[in-house]
């Protein structure tokens, strides 16, 4: 078997598809670079992984939680030791710059350490009883088998922040990474196994969402589904799995605004918005896609923004000095270019970018110019729909109230930020903005792993947050105990 063909992992063993079929994992900055090949599993193979996870679950649940945590902490150390190599691989596979990739890999280290220590702190509650000689308390129990389905844009951090709370609570996992980025997902699973995770506790399956993913959603032996991805697939999962007794958490898209008030430090605001809109090539669910600027400072904002964005060097993320990598694939590139055309047709004014990049540095990859539209109005599709690329829409508001109204006038509610020196306006924003992540004088992107994460409105479904201690609530069920003595 060719060295670049990697296996899935089922029951701790290498697993290939029965018919030997594979799919290719391509470097989006240089499409003749095949990073790896992975098995194209069938639905039956995915069902087998679920059976194996079911068999392993009771023993894992009875392993003391601090011991489960010890394995997570050890895996954190392995990932930290190998961070440079993992970051390079992540850049090659997904396209983000090396600095962005390193930040993401180190996020995994924090997540594993945080949830590893939670092995000592899987607390219930203790309360007084209304009856004499009685104690009331609650304990947490695992749910059973969890399906974890993840997107390509944070292909090591998102699986880690789902797996770690699932595992520490005593669940077993079947994990399906996105088909653009299976190798970094494989490396994560491999680190956990090298840290001592028993066979069958974490199983990795690769293949199409429509078959392998669908099995992870519909199989009756699955007790919980944690999915991050697009609104369309999330809605489909809700329709198919919503009727039965399975716990579901869906983290979906965003259309995140940054509001710029007239009392702000403009240089800082521009820098933060550039980071939010064009960092990670705009391919973050929390990316800034709308800058809502007070009329009185809008000309200055636009001038400074254009000057700054013109200096962004787009290229292969492995190259020193490159600030923005490619988009992940041809389909995503075409979707972004289609949205740029939609913006033009709708009458928005293109002030920068808008084209696919060609030429020696770019001809082999999926590169697009950082793009800015102005005169965008709330009825336009580019003001409403998630583009998931480096495209920023500038909208003008005549006052603070109108800025908040514009910010809220979308069906999503993931992240939002405001730039102001006024504490009262900042607090007003915190209370009126419809978003699960709210930032003051900070970019919409960037999360800390011990804070709860999740959106409002159509950005999330399931209500229980990811990350932080809140994540334990999703991956466990509570038993209420009445003890009389
Ligand atoms: P996607 O919905 O196309 O795919 C996500 C995952 O679901 C992939 O592993 C895919 O193979 C699988 N899948 C596809 N169809 C399926 C089906 N019918 N049943 C089960 N699984 C299926 O999303 P994507 O293109 O990989 O990622 C981009 C999207 O993810 C964007 O919309 C972005 O906003 C969102 N995202 C959200 C968050 C968040 O936390 N809210 C974070 C990152 C990305």
- What is the tens place of the pLDDT at every residue in 404-414? 999 999 999 99
14 in the same domain as 152 = yes
CATH number of the domain at 312, please.
3.40.309.10
Is 3 within the bounds of a domain?
no
Active site residue 169: no
Tell me the percentage of the chain whose pLDDT exceeds 70.
Answer: 100
For the chain, helix (H) and strand (E) counts, in that order, are: 15, 22
281 in the same domain as 165 = no
299 in the same domain as 232 = no
Q: Does the beta carbon of 461 lie inside 6 Å of ligand 1?
A: no
404 in the same domain as 278 = yes
Residue 420 has pLDDT above 70, yes or no: yes
242 in the same domain as 345 = no
Which member of 8, 215, 285, 386 is catalytic? 285
222 in the same domain as 285 = no
Q: Does the beta carbon of 236 lie inside 6 Å of ligand 1?
A: yes
Range 194-200 average pLDDT: 98
Q: How many whole angstroms separate alpha carbon 343 and alpha carbon 383?
A: 9
Residue 182 has pLDDT above 90, yes or no: yes
Environment class of 239 (CB within 10 Å of its CB; exposed 0-12, middle 13-18, buried 19+): exposed
8-state DSSP, 163: H
Tell me the percentage of the chain whose pLDDT exceeds 90.
Answer: 97
Is 446 within the bounds of a domain?
no
Is 173 within the bounds of a domain?
yes
How far away, in angstroms, is 228 Cα from ligand 1 center?
A: 5
262 in the same domain as 248 = no
Band (128; pLDDT cuts 50, 70, 90): very high
Range 267-276 average pLDDT: 98
How far away, in angstroms, is 147 Cα from ligand 1 center?
A: 14
281 in the same domain as 174 = no
pLDDT of residue 370: 98
Which member of 251, 302, 332, 369 is catalytic? 251
Active site residue 285: yes
pLDDT of residue 387: 98
Please write the tens of the pLDDT for every residue from 39-93.
999 999 999 999 999 999 999 999 999 999 999 999 999 999 999 999 999 999 9
Range 85-112 average pLDDT: 98
Q: Does the beta carbon of 57 lie inside 6 Å of ligand 1?
A: no
Angle at 246 between CA 242 and CA 249, to 5 degrees: 75
pLDDT of residue 194: 98
Q: Which residues of 438-475 are buried (b: 16+ CB within 10 A; e: fewer)?
A: bbeebbbbbbebeebbbbbbbbbbbebbbbbbbbbbbb
Residue 415 has pLDDT above 90, yes or no: yes
8-state DSSP, 13: E
The protein residue with its alpha carbon nearest to ligand 1, atom 15, reads 209
pLDDT of residue 1: 61
Is 42 within the bounds of a domain?
yes
pLDDT of residue 105: 98
Range 207-233 average pLDDT: 97
Please state which of the ranges 3-7, 249-253, 341-345, 394-398 shows the lowest mean pLDDT: 3-7
Is 452 within the bounds of a domain?
no
pLDDT of residue 2: 73
Range 255-269 average pLDDT: 98
Is 449 within the bounds of a domain?
no
Is 374 within the bounds of a domain?
yes
Question: And the tokens for 484?
Answer: 């009389």
State the total domains in the chain.
2
DSSP labels, 176-238? E--TT-HHHHHHHHHHHHHTTPPTTSEEE--S-IIIIIHHHHH-TT--EEEEES-HHHHHHHH
- Cβ contacts of residue 123 below 8 Å, gap of 6+? 140
247 in the same domain as 138 = yes
240 in the same domain as 273 = no
Pocket probe mutation, ligand 1, options 8, 233, 411, 449, max atoms within 8 Å of Cβ = 233
Q: How many whole angstroms separate alpha carbon 250 and alpha carbon 270?
A: 32
Q: Does the beta carbon of 159 lie inside 6 Å of ligand 1?
A: no
Band (269; pLDDT cuts 50, 70, 90): very high
Is 445 within the bounds of a domain?
no
Q: What is the mean pLDDT of the chain?
A: 97
CATH number of the domain at 162, please.
3.40.605.10
229 in the same domain as 102 = yes
474 in the same domain as 432 = no
Angle at 326 between CA 436 and CA 233, to 5 degrees: 45
Domain carrying residue 43? 8-252+459-484
Residue 106 has pLDDT above 90, yes or no: yes
Q: Does the beta carbon of 287 lie inside 6 Å of ligand 1?
A: no
């Amino acid at each position: 078997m060719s060295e670049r063909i990697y296996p899935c992992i089922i029951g701790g063993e290498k697993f290939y598809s029965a018919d030997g079929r594979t799919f290719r994992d391509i470097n989006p900055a240089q499409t003749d670079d095949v990073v790896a090949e992975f098995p194209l599993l069938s639905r039956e193979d995915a069902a087998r992984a679920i059976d194996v996870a079911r068999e392993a679950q009771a023993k894992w649940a009875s392993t003391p939680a601090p011991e489960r945590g010890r394995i997570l902490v050890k895996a954190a150390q392995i990932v930290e030791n190998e961070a440079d190599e993992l970051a390079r691989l992540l850049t090659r596979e997904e396209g983000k710059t090396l600095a962005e990739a390193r930040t993401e890999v180190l996020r995994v280290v924090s997540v594993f350490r945080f949830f590893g220590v939670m092995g000592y702190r899987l607390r219930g509650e203790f309360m007084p009883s209304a009856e004499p000689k009685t104690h009331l308390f609650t304990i947490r129990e695992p749910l059973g088998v969890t399906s974890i389905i993840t997107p390509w844009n944070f292909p090591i951090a998102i699986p880690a922040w789902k797996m770690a709370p699932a595992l520490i609570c005593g669940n077993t996992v079947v994990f399906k990474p996105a088909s653009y980025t299976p190798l970094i997902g494989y490396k994560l699973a491999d680190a956990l196994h090298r840290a001592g995770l028993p066979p069958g506790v974490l199983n990795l399956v690769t293949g199409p969402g429509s078959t392998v993913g669908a099995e992870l959603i519909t199989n009756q032996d699955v007790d919980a589904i944690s999915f991050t991805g697009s609104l369309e697939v999330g809605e489909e999962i809700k329709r198919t799995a919503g009727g039965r007794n399975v716990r579901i958490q869906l983290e979906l898209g965003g259309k995140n605004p940054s509001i710029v008030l007239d009392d702000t430090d403009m240089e800082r605001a521009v820098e933060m918005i550039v980071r939010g809109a064009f960092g990670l090539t705009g391919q973050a669910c929390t990316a800034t896609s709308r800058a809502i600027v007070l009329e009185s400072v809008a000309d200055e904002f636009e001038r400074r923004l254009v000057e700054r964005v013109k200096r962004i060097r787009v290229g292969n993320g492995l190259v020193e000095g490159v600030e923005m990598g490619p988009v992940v694939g041809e389909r995503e590139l075409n979707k972004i270019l289609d949205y740029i055309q939609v913006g033009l047709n709708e009458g928005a004014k293109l002030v920068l970018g808008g084209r696919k990049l060609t030429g020696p540095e770019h001809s082999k990859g999926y590169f697009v110019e950082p793009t800015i539209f102005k005169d965008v109005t709330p009825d336009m599709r580019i003001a409403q729909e998630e583009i998931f690329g480096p495209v920023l829409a500038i909208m003008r508001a005549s006052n603070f109230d109108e800025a908040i109204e514009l910010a809220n006038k979308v069906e999503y509610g993931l992240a939002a930020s405001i730039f102001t020196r006024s504490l009262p306006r900042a607090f007003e924003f915190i209370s009126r903005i419809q978003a699960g992540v709210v930032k003051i004088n900070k970019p919409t992107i960037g999360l800390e792993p011990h804070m709860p994460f999740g959106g409002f409105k159509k950005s999330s479904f399931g209500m229980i947050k990811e990350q932080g201690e809140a994540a334990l609530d999703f991956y466990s069920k509570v038993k209420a105990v009445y003890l009389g003595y």
